[in-house]
Copies of this chain bind each other. A is one copy, B any other.
Amino acid sequence: MPDLHALSRELQRKNDTKIVLLVADGLGGLPQQPGGKTELETARTPHLDELARRGVLGLSIPVLPGIAPGSGPGHLGLFGYDPLQYNIGRGVLEALGIDFELGPNDVAIRGNFCTLDAAGNITDRRAGRIASDVGQRLCEKLDTITIPGVEVFVRPVKEYRLVVVLRGEGLGGQVHDTDPQRTGVPPLEAKARPVADAASIRADAGSGGHDTSSEKTADICADFLRQARELLKNDAPANFLTLRGIAKRPAIPTFEEVYGVRPAAIAVYPMYRGLARLVGMAILDAGATLDDQMARLEAAWNDYDFFFVHYKYTDSTGEDGNFAAKVEKTEAVDAALPRITALKPDVLIVTGDHSTPSKLKSHSWHPVPVLLAAECARFDGSESFGEAQCLSGGLGQFEAKYLMLLALAHARRLEKYGA
């Protein structure tokens, strides 16, 4: 497997071009009936269609054929980080999702409040789905826990869900969940994974993988759980918690280092800001609407070379199974486009991190429409932006991880390889 970042590091060239990556989350779709149109094809998108005539289309495969990605791998792929190489643990994603700023030595953990009976067995893995304000109060209590040698942060997420972050030197991320995934048994003890187990399909870049560091984390988790048990003993139904998705922040080289661009992210949802922060993008605050995001883009235009703009609602409407609403949200993206093209970016890419067909009400593996507009694109005769046109587009079908190389190439930001 070629190391794409070794290539881009070697070949990167600075110039004053601007690149915009507009991600309409879950953009790809499916027709409701055979022979019908997808959400994107149904939507009236005059500006995207105009751009399609000036650019080149294609379909990106987020991870591999047949693999539907979560938001983490979906975005890492778009950012040019091989999603099979860079593993983002669930705990890390959960922490990103509440805008927690993870450091390179942090271990992040998803917590669930749960109910224990007198014998110490779990009777409810979600603590009766306590209200969020109850969860918040209990998190404040747990946040007082101190453990020698590490900082401990406990933050509420929603209802019975929380995030625990351990910050300290030499902590590993290879520790088993303590949630036994069933009731009538006690929670599991925090245990480091055996080394062989830790080597998975995904090189856990940040973990180091050797056991002593993860044993240290396991010991700290055990200490934390002992103290939590004492603190929560009178808080039934939330009289304990389980730890899941224990993971270290992956060691990811920064966007600026690997591509030589100054990147900024304009994203409303915390998880996407977190993913952008993970690769070293500047996070630009904006209001909640696309108009707010466009205004922020305009204001920041001179300060960065690369802009990642994230729009959530093409995905959430797809997840809801609401075809008409997804069409409407797609049209909203189209309506925002003139404010981007007015800035005259040298490269403008419109795509998604994965497909979310409303027919499936979930992320899917279907290749994702890609539109790349640039002066030196090889036009492919496309007349509009949609899955069918993308299928005959000039970029062909390609793994999402190559998109950044294409973006940089069209921005003339890559030297040629070899003489």
A residues with CB within 8 A of B: 1-4, 6-7, 10-11, 30-31, 34-35, 38, 53-54, 59, 63-73, 83-84, 87-88, 90, 93, 200-201, 357, 359-360, 362-367, 376, 378-381, 387-388, 391-392, 394-398, 402, 404-410, 414, 416-419
State whether B405 touches A64 (Cβ < 8 A): yes
- Give every chain B residue within 8 A of A366 (Cβ-Cβ): 378
List of B residues within 8 angstroms of A38 by Cβ: 378
A87 CA to B2 CA, complexed, in Å: 13
State which of B69, B378, B396 has its C-beta within 8 Å of the C-beta of A418: B69
* Pairwise interchain contact A388-B380, C-beta atoms closer than 8 A: yes
Residues of B within 8 A of A396 (CB): 59, 367, 391, 396-397
Q: Please tell me if the beta carbons of A93 and B53 are within 8 angstroms of each other in the complex.
A: no
Question: Which B residue's beta carbon lies closest to that of A11?
Answer: B67
Determine how close the nearest CB of chain B comes to the CB of A413; give it in whole angstroms.
10
- A84 lies within 8 A of B2 (CB): yes
Residue of B at shortest CB range from A379?
A: B34
Q: By the criterion CB–CB under 8 Å, are A73 and B417 in contact?
A: yes
The 6 tightest CB contacts between A and B, nearest first, are: A66-B405, A6-B201, A66-B409, A70-B418, A73-B418, A65-B402
Q: Which residue of B88, B391, B392, B402 is within 8 Å of A66 (Cβ)? A: B402
Instruction: Name the residue on B nearest A7 (C-beta).
Output: B201
A70-B398 in contact given A30-B376, A64-B2, A392-B392 (Cβ < 8 Å):
no
Shortest Cβ gap from A110 to chain B (Å): 10
Interchain CB contact under 8 A, B416 and A35: no
Report yes or no: A83 in contact with B418, Cβ–Cβ below 8 A: yes
Kindly list chain B residues whose C-beta atoms are within 8 Å of the C-beta of A398. 65
A74, closest chain B residue (CB): B418
Q: Are B93 and A419 in contact (CB under 8 A)?
A: yes
Tell me if B391 and A376 are in contact (CB < 8 A): no
Max count, chain B CB within 10 A of own CB: residue among A391, A406, A418:
A418
Q: Sample 17 A-B pairs with CB under 8 A, ordered by A number.
A: A3-B201, A31-B379, A34-B53, A63-B417, A65-B406, A66-B405, A66-B414, A69-B416, A69-B418, A70-B416, A70-B418, A360-B376, A362-B416, A364-B376, A365-B414, A381-B388, A391-B396
Residues of B within 8 A of A53 (CB): 34-35
- On whether the beta carbons of B409 and A365 are closer than 8 Å, the reply is yes
Q: Identify the closest chain B residue to A271 (Cβ).
A: B419
**Which of B7, B67, B414 is A7 in contact with, Cβ under 8 Å?**
B67
Interface centre among A3, A7, A357 (most CB of B within 10 A): A7
Contacts A7-B201, A66-B409 given: A83-B365 contact, CB under 8 Å?
A: no
Contacts A7-B67, A68-B417 supplied; 7 other A-B pairs, CB < 8 Å? A3-B201, A30-B376, A34-B379, A65-B405, A72-B419, A363-B416, A367-B396
- A395, B391: Cα distance in complex, Å: 9
